[in-house]
A and B are shown apart, each in its own frame.
Chain A
Amino acid sequence: MDLISILATVILVTTVGTMVVGVGAYAAFKLRDKRKPSKKRTDDTLDGTGRQEPIFLKRYVPEATPPTTADET
């Protein structure tokens, strides 16, 4: 076996190997991205569903008052 054949075999094995590693690494990167928990919510004003709640102002919702006798008449 001459030098060129040996080098050719090395390159062949390396090329096939690195392509397999490339596909594997890509799959691993995608998997890691999917499995990674979404750290801490970046915005503390968002609730668990991603909806934004007012920080300082609380919406005023009047309590439901029972109908008075005057209303009934």
Chain B
Amino acid sequence: MAIKTFSRSAWVAAALGGLVFLLAYSYEAVREKQGSFTVLLENYALMAITVYLLIFLVLLIIRYAVLILYSFMDHLESLHQKRNVSPTLYRDDSALPMISLVVPAYNEGLVIQAAIRSLLLLDYPNFEIIVVDDGSTDDTYEKAIAVAREQLNIPVRVVTKRNGGKAEALNTGMTVARGEFVLNMDGDSKLSSNTLRACIRHFDNPRIGAVAGNVKVINRENIWTKIQALEYVEGLAMARKAQSFMRAVNIIPGPLGMFRKSVLQQVGGYDHDTFAEDCDLTLKLLMRGWHIAYEPTAIAWVETPSGLLDLLKQRYRWTRGILQATTKHSHALWQPRKAGINCFILWYMLFEGIMWPFSTLLGNVFFAYVGIQYGLATLLFYWWLQLTVLDVVAASYCVVIEEEEPSLIFYAIMFRLFYINIIDVSKVFATIEEWRGHTMTWGKLEREGKL
């Protein structure tokens, strides 16, 4: 024990000695040439930032490589499963369990009827639709009930309640659901017709507690929404596919997630204490040891913000919500043996939520400073270029795998050129405000009724 302590102290002493030597050596070198303390300080700061950015770059390359590799493995695995499972062995329609679709709606009068009608077209023999009107101040309830009255084949129920937020509405839906499985979605989502069949087959595995769907942008009308379309394909779908290979998807998206009702009840449904209730619920499931799968063919088409300020509002809420959920489950951060893959998932979320935006912003400021101060703008160009190359490679891979529009690859350049700089500023401010404990309110996206 004493030897171990001595050895550790010796290592620390050696590291400190080395650092002092380096500082003294560099001080001497700078003093001989410039003789200014300010220059020395600047050199140290620039050196420290350079080292940090190099470490960040290495982590980023590892992140992209692992995500592409794992998502490709998941792709191969699903192809292999498809080939091995004979369609005749697939479940008989009469044996398919009942699924309850819970549609929370708050002031969705513009889109609610179209949303319900599109759900009625889903290809599945045994399901019900539950619309939970969360105390809307518009005609959401009346419009939903009108569709429910004209529908005879598939049960459509409309529940109205006092306004209490999305989490409460989903919990209400869970309570009244008659199905063995519950599909939670947004009031403005449009699901692909195969969604229920595609998701339900994952539950053949008794360890799977929930299935995350694939979210895509429907209103690809201007540069903001087109870049978001790429972002959803690249940043979200690729990551989920990779996480699915590990059976540990870290966010079941709000627009499409299917759960065992018993599992939802076991974890107590959605909590109200974060602004990313879907992320929080997913972490609760993972912490309880449930596996979460991802189904890329189950698609939820959603309307995304088409203006900059609405987009910032959404990202601000996501950032703070994810940080709140991570903080809530932070005990797993320091228990790698007990938490296992969940520990890694939390660190990964902190990397994406905090380190990434801070580092890209720091890199931009650093290289802009060096470019203006020392006329080394080419450094900034190379920094930008290597990040853009990573984005373009990932975008190309995702477009091929997801069978998306090839024109989206072009938006990877726009993404890096201006989009992510603006978003990262907002994320950094959101992180600072969360850390300082600023109060926050829900930001609801104003619907344009494009579905």
Enumerate chain A interface residues (CB-CB to B < 8 A). Answer: 4-5, 7-9, 11-12, 14-19, 21-23, 25-26, 28-29, 32-33, 39-40, 42-43
Contact = CB atoms under 8 A, between A and B. Distances in A.
A19 B421 contact: yes
Contacts of B163: 42-43
Contacts of B162: 43
Most B CB contacts (10 A, CB to CB) among A14, A28, A39 go to A14
Contacts of A9: 377
A45 to B, nearest CB: 8
Given A8-B371, A12-B372, A12-B377, A19 B361 contact: yes
B316 A11 contact: no
Contact of B313 (A4, A33, A43): A33
In order of increasing CB-CB distance, the 5 nearest A-B pairs are A22-B425, A8-B381, A8-B377, A18-B421, A22-B422
Contacts of B372: 12
B9 interface: no
Contacts of B384: 11, 15
Interface of B: 135, 137, 162-163, 308-309, 312-313, 316, 361, 364-365, 367-368, 371-372, 377-378, 380-381, 384, 417-418, 421-426, 429, 441, 443
Most B CB contacts (10 A, CB to CB) among A12, A18, A22, A25 go to A22
A22 B424 contact: yes
B380 A11 contact: yes
Nearest to A16: B368
Contacts of B429: 26
Contacts of B377: 5, 8-9, 11-12
Contacts of B424: 22
Given A16-B368, A29-B316, A11 B425 contact: no
A15 B380 contact: yes
Given A8-B377, A32-B309, A15 B422 contact: no
B313 A19 contact: no
A28 to B, nearest CB: 6
The majority secondary structure among interface residues of chain B is: helix
A13 B148 CA distance: 56
B312 A26 contact: yes
A43 B308 CA distance: 30
Nearest to B163: A42
A25 B313 CA distance: 10
28 contacts: A4-B381, A5-B377, A7-B381, A8-B371, A8-B378, A8-B380, A9-B377, A11-B381, A11-B384, A12-B368, A12-B372, A15-B380, A15-B384, A16-B368, A18-B421, A19-B361, A19-B365, A22-B423, A22-B424, A23-B425, A25-B309, A25-B312, A25-B425, A28-B309, A29-B309, A29-B312, A29-B426, A33-B313
Given A8-B377, A8-B378, A25 B426 contact: yes
Nearest to B384: A11
Nearest to A10: B381
A25 to B, nearest CB: 5
A36 B253 CA distance: 29
A70 to B, nearest CB: 49
B344 to A, nearest CB: 31
A40 B378 CA distance: 53
Contacts of A43: 135, 162-163
A51 to B, nearest CB: 15
A15 B425 contact: no
B137 A15 contact: no
B418 to A, nearest CB: 4
B443 to A, nearest CB: 8
